[in-house]
Amino acid sequence: MTDSHDSIEPADSHGHGELVPDEPIANPGLPAHEPRPTDVDPAKEKRAEIQVAVLFALSGICSVLFVVSYFTFDVGDNWHVVGGLGASTVALGSTLAGALLFVGVGITHWARKLMGDHEIVEMRHPAYSEESDRQRALEDIKVGFEETGIARRPLIVFSGVGALGLLGLPAVVYLRDLGTLPGDKLEHTIWGQGGRKITIVEDGEEKEITVPKMRISRDAIGTPILASDLEIGDLVNAQPEVLFNPTRYYMEHADVEGAELQTHKSKASLILLRMEPGDIKPGKGREDWDVNGIVAYSKICTHVGCPISLNERTTHHLLCPCHQSTFDMADSGRVIFGPAGRPLPQLPIEVDEQGYLVAQSDFTEPVGPSYWERDYERDRFAEGD
């Protein structure tokens, strides 16, 4: 069996077809090529070349201005420049946009005005390419490269290379905003600021003192918590007192404001729960970490860092509402259900001479989700971790 509709083969390289007997209409091919003004007028060709070079130069200038703006304007500069936007935002955004815009327009203008301008038709054929087709493709690439006129237009080459090179400067400068490595910051919280020894100057003499141990305060209002205030079954969200009264712990207000405050709260948030002392099953070495049945745990889930406070009063189980990880508050915060990979970190607590709950020390392990760099071998209480 044969197909009555034969394909139309091109008669030449421009795609003109021949009339096949059973086809009613012949392939008309491509219309005659019309040269551009820059193809026939050397003056217009030179003007287009200069225009492309100017666009590339403008792109390079914008890239340099981006770097200058980055080091000139601080992120906190809130000068009302355009629509209430800060100077840093406007300067960085406009210069980077200009650098990308001018280099893009320059390349487009180069292609439309100066590169080879003729239509090419490729008839449909099987996916497999013959060896002759492959060779022809390589030849076409070579011809296309020659038609860009790079060898004859050093002005465009140098200006284009310069623009593209300078375009990398914003990307390099942005690397500074990746921040520094965290070091051991993830392993410590502001609870450790209590009970530390410091040297102060009093009456012109240096004196070593011990900072008071960190009191546990109610979240939001900041009032210290008396152990006698909690009844069996109570659950309280808490924060270190230093966030509300930094001078008592010899810290500046600037240390607990703005971004620093949010960082401290994200790591130091606590949950206090009081249960019958006999219900507690302390882990090895944690026998003195509670106060008459009051235990303190990090509020940050060890799965992905969600804040948790859903308490099952009769079982002493704490449930994370995000992914249902469940922790046993009576058994060292052990995970009994869900995707969390380790127990909730427990804060060792005691009472001071006035009966307020205080932290014995900082957490003995990092709070929050686990991470690759976390050194599990350094955890003081690694059993069950």
d(CA 208, CA 78): 42
d(CA 214, CA 356): 10
Q: What is the mean pLDDT of residues 99-106?
A: 95
d(CA 280, CA 272): 14
CB atoms within 10 A of CB 330: 21
**pLDDT (tens digit, 9 = 90+) per residue, 146-194?**
888 877 888 888 898 899 888 888 888 878 777 777 777 788 899 999 9
- What amino acid occupies position 149? G
d(CA 12, CA 310): 78
Q: What pLDDT does 383 receive? A: 44
Strand residue runs (E) in 241-301 = 270-274, 294-298
Residue with tokens 């507690």, as numbered in its chain:
280
Burial annotation 285-300 (CB, 10 A radius, 16+ → b, else e): ebeebbbebbbbbbbb
Q: What is the pTM (predicted TM-score) of this model?
A: 0.55
**pLDDT (tens digit, 9 = 90+) per residue, 224-271?**
999 999 999 999 999 999 999 999 988 888 788 888 888 888 899 999
Strand residue runs (E) in the chain = 197-202, 205-210, 216-218, 235-240, 270-274, 294-298, 310-312, 317-319, 326-328, 334-337, 349-351, 357-359
What are 49's strand-pairing partners?
A: none
d(CA 381, CA 233): 26
**pLDDT (tens digit, 9 = 90+) per residue, 105-118?**
999 999 998 888 87
pLDDT at 276 over 90: yes
**pLDDT (tens digit, 9 = 90+) per residue, 40-88?**
889 999 999 999 999 999 999 999 999 998 888 876 555 555 666 677 8
Burial annotation 188-209 (CB, 10 A radius, 16+ → b, else e): ebbbbbbbeeeeeeeeeeeeee
Q: What pLDDT does 13 receive? A: 45
pLDDT at 8 over 50: no
Please, where are the H alpha helices in 255-320? 258-268
Instruction: Tell which residue, 299, 301, 331, 304, has the closest CA to residue 316.
Output: 331
pLDDT at 312 over 60: yes
Question: Cα angle at 106 between 104 and 111, to 5 degrees?
Answer: 100
Question: Cα angle at 37 between 35 and 38, to 5 degrees?
Answer: 95
- What contacts 371, CB < 8 A, 6 or more positions away? 186
Positive or negative, the CA dihedral 282, 283, 285, 290 is negative
Report whether 209 contacts 341 (CB < 8 A): no
By mean pLDDT, which of 114-128, 257-271, 371-385 is the weakest? Answer: 371-385
